[in-house]
Amino acid sequence: MSRIKGNLGVERVVLAGVCQFGKEAYYDIQDIITSNSFSLDANQAIYKCIEKSLEKIDKLDVTSLLAASDSLGLSALLTKNKIDIEYIRSLFNFPIKLENVRPHAKQLAKIEIIQKEQYALMDAYNKLGELDGTESISEILGIPEEAIFEVTNELNNRNDEAPKQIMDGAKLRLEALAANPIQNIGI
């Protein structure tokens, strides 16, 4: 059974987009990917450094990423040799448009889902291999079904702050403001 591998080209495009456009690109994709979305350990480390750096600054540069790698204890992974440093530098020169970062991040998120589902089904396959035929049909069918539902539930139960409609709750807020007028008017 072949496993889907990460798409290193897509990973590079996403990293390059965030490196070049900073918070603007990061906020556009942070709801759909995490450092675990990357298949290469170095790319996971770079994304963690990006997140750390963007806590303090709006635009990234190579030195801010390297400083973040030191504070996260990831410098050994990212600065082993000259090629690693050159790869990080190349992310700031890679031709990418801001509007293309999110579609590539979506592809990366889908690959992560595919990998999770493959691992869950591989585990179900191994559990099915342990059965001896004395189990009920519902037990047998329940094993792969449970694997699929676990991944589906994980996706449905993500507790993130996804974009919302601007007007959600606006009427209640206006009514609350009208019912409780401010006594002291400020400048």
Q: Convert the pLDDT of each residue in 44-68 to its tens digit.
A: 999 999 999 999 999 999 989 988 9
Percent of the chain scored above 70 by pLDDT? 89
Closest to 84 measured CA to CA, from 35, 54, 43, 51: 43
Spatial distance between the Cα atoms of 13 and 42, rounded to a whole number of angstroms: 14
Query: What average pLDDT does the segment 14-22 reach?
Result: 94
Query: What average pLDDT does the segment 140-159 reach?
Result: 84
- Out of 28-32, 35-39, 151-155, least confident range: 151-155
Query: Quick check: 123 pLDDT over 60?
Result: yes
Closest to 131 measured CA to CA, from 118, 142, 145, 119: 142
Query: What average pLDDT does the segment 164-176 reach?
Result: 73
Query: Quick check: 16 pLDDT over 50?
Result: yes
